[in-house]
Amino acid sequence: MNAPVSSPALTKNQSLVFDVLTRSDAPMSAYTILDKLRDHGFRAPLQVYRALDKLLEFGMVHRLESLNAFVACAHPESDCCAKGHGHGTVAFAICESCGHVFEFHDHAVDHRLGDWAKGKGFKPAKTTIEIRGICSSCAA
């Protein structure tokens, strides 16, 4: 199993941003994070974006492209092969009702897309998989 890219001690700003994201039960935009952190001295978007850049680099946070928002990494226990983000592509299911995000990894999908790329000579750098829909709780 590959290790994460790196995970040095977080700076103050990085910790603050990560804590806010971890406590949230839904994705947050950079500006929402900013508002949550004004009491802690945050004044400008760049303070958030710079922290997010690092957290993304460390694999501790994910960006949801279809929402322009961010979530703390939350692999389910079963995704042993994706621990630390050292391997494979992560997929997200996003409930449009409650906002909850399910993060998972699927080998078959991963390999299948990899095969397509190989067949075309396409070199993947980053793959985005996001399913928008309604979660079981909200559908009930």
Which residue ranges make up the annotated binding site for Zn(2+)? 95, 98, 135, 138
Q: Is 33 in the site for DNA (CB under 7 A)?
A: no
We find the least distance from the C-beta atom of residue 44 to DNA, in angstroms, to be 4
85-106 as b/e, with b when 16 or more CB fall inside 10 Å?
beebbbbbbbbeeebebebbbe
Total binding residues for a second copy by CB under 8 A?
33
Footprint on residues 16-45 left by a second copy (CB under 8 A)? none
Per CB under 8 A, the list member of 4, 56, 84, 106 interacting with a second copy is 106
Structure tokens at 57: 């680099």
Q: Are 132 and 57 in contact (CB under 8 A)?
A: no
Footprint on residues 67-96 left by a second copy (CB under 8 A)? 91, 93, 95-96
Selection from 29, 27, 23, 24 nearest residue 99 by Cα = 27
How far is it, in rounded angstroms, from Cα 17 to Cα 66? Answer: 21
Q: Is 31 in the site for DNA (CB under 7 A)?
A: yes
Footprint on residues 97-116 left by Zn ion (CB under 5 A)? 97-98
Q: Is 135 in the site for Zn ion (CB under 5 A)?
A: yes
Q: Is 128 in the site for a second copy (CB under 8 A)?
A: yes
Which residues 6+ apart lie within 8 Å of 138 measured at CB?
Answer: 95, 97, 98
Q: Is 24 in the site for DNA (CB under 7 A)?
A: no
